[in-house]
Amino acid sequence: MPKKVLVIGGCGFIGSHIVDGLLAAGTAVRVLDRRPEAFREPLPGVEYIFGDFSDPFQLLESLEGVDAVMHCASTTVPSTSNIDPVADISGNLISSVRLLKLLRQMNIGKLVYLSSGGTVYGVPQADPVSEDHPQNPISSYGIVKSAIEKYIFMEQELHGLSAVVLRASNPYGPRQGHTGIQGIIGTYLWKLARGEDLEVWGDGTVVRDFIYVKDMADICVAALNSEASGVYNAGAGEGTSVNEIVEAVRHATGRDFQPTYKVARAYDVPRIVLDIGRAQETFAWSPKVSLVEGVAESWNWVQSQVAPAH
Ligand SMILES: NC(=O)c1ccc[n+]([C@@H]2O[C@H](COP(=O)([O-])OP(=O)(O)OC[C@H]3O[C@@H](n4cnc5c(N)ncnc54)[C@H](O)[C@@H]3O)[C@@H](O)[C@H]2O)c1
């Protein structure tokens, strides 16, 4: 088990929950992020370095004295990455390949990387999708994630790094941003809290695999503490349609609303659900929080953020 972990992107949505999980397990934590957390004050006991992980000097400084790295930073999201693939490659692929070189230089032998189960496979040819499914990503984001994975395992093969790649499905929960570009559950809850209308792209039958963010953080901590290496899907292993999300949101919020149905988006594949058997077996982990509980928790949190000022 590592004594001290560097969490790159530790002020983000998922990273902040990973930091919580590590602290709860008694692990020392350093965070490298471009900015402080959006929804919380800095945590006591965490060392923060504010900087860019594409800056080799800041990265070197951040790696000093840690024995494992959790990489959960990304400068892009799937829906925007195709606008500027060159920036995606330089911000994510090149910086991550440089990270691997520095890990070798600094003798840091353990890396956990958050990849994306929703994009590396492309249009699913199986249901559920296992880790061995072909990778034919249809976004720059997915191509870059897939390439980073391959560099990581090249490093493992040639230079003895011990790496776990977690292909995350669709995490949701407290501290999910409200920009509306990623995360339908967070987007809906924030919109309702602000009295805005909800939109559904298509007829609402699109199915995704939603995982509560604390369950996601748990598997990251388990992977950091494990001797295992390799690639693992990390989701709930269950499919939920957008229409079912609308109902879950209605139930959790007690609000009566009618979403506006809009034209389907070409890049939304109809259904993707991950096979999580390998992760369950290897890490003795399983998602614990049901969609009903998770959406209710998320709503409580959103409401706490939009409480009227006095
Ligand atoms: N949220 C999702 O739906 C989802 C799904 C699958 C995979 N992922 C992956 O999980 C990881 C975490 O996602 P998230 O939702 O928490 O994102 P997020 O944007 O909330 O957090 C990412 C954090 O990384 C930081 N960051 C970005 N670029 C940086 C840089 N160059 N240097 C330093 N810090 C930088 C950001 O400031 C942010 O705090 C990402 O790699 C993402 O691709 C997310």
Domain membership of residue 310 (yes or no) is no
Domain membership of residue 282 (yes or no) is no
Do 122 and 246 lie in one domain? The reply is: no
CATH number, residue 181? 3.90.25.10
Do 147 and 189 lie in one domain? The reply is: no
Per the structure block, which two tokens stand in for 93? Answer: 């692929």
pLDDT at 125 over 60: yes
CA 76–ligand 1 middle distance (angstroms): 8
Residue of 237, 227, 238 lying closest to 277 (CA atoms): 237
| Nearest atom (ligand 1) to Cα of 113 | 41
Residue of 33, 130, 38, 104 lying closest to 72 (CA atoms): 33
Range of the domain at 182: 173-208+238-269+289-305
Do 75 and 127 lie in one domain? The reply is: yes
Do 244 and 125 lie in one domain? The reply is: no
Return the exposure string of 222-252: e unless at least 16 CB atoms fall within 10 Å of the residue's CB, then b: bbbbbeebebbbbbbbbbbbbbebbebbbeb
Do 19 and 164 lie in one domain? The reply is: yes
Domain membership of residue 279 (yes or no) is no
Whole-number average pLDDT of the chain: 95
Three-state DSSP class for residue 163: strand
Q: What is the mean pLDDT of residues 150-166?
A: 97
Do 179 and 107 lie in one domain? The reply is: no
Do 69 and 181 lie in one domain? The reply is: no
Do 44 and 130 lie in one domain? The reply is: yes
Do 227 and 297 lie in one domain? The reply is: no
CB 175 within 8 A of CB 38: yes
pLDDT digits 0-9 by tens, 26-48: 999 999 999 999 999 999 999 99
Q: Which residue from 13, 55, 178, 211 has its CB within 8 A of the most atoms of ligand 1, so it is best to mutate?
A: 13
Confidence of residue 22 (pLDDT cuts 50, 70, 90): very high
Domain membership of residue 281 (yes or no) is no
CA 33–ligand 1 middle distance (angstroms): 10
Do 159 and 49 lie in one domain? The reply is: yes
Residues 6 or more apart whose Cβ sits within 8 Å of residue 202: 242, 261, 262, 263, 264, 265, 268
Per the structure block, which two tokens stand in for 88? Answer: 């995606």
Do 119 and 186 lie in one domain? The reply is: no
pLDDT digits 0-9 by tens, 169-202: 999 999 998 765 679 999 999 999 999 999 999 9
DSSP single-letter state for residue 274 = B
Catalytic sites, residue numbers: 141
Radius of gyration over every alpha carbon of the chain, rounded to an integer in angstroms: 19
φ/ψ bin of 35: left (φ > 0), alpha (ψ from -120 to 50), beta (otherwise)? beta
Confidence of residue 230 (pLDDT cuts 50, 70, 90): very high
CA 283–ligand 1 middle distance (angstroms): 23
CATH number, residue 157? 3.40.50.720
| Nearest atom (ligand 1) to Cα of 76 | 43
Residue list, ligand 1 pocket, CB within 6 Å: 9, 11-15, 32-35, 52-54, 72-75, 91, 114, 116, 118, 168, 170-171, 182-183
Domain membership of residue 22 (yes or no) is yes
Do 50 and 117 lie in one domain? The reply is: yes
Q: Whose C-alpha lies nearest to ligand 1, atom 34?
A: 33
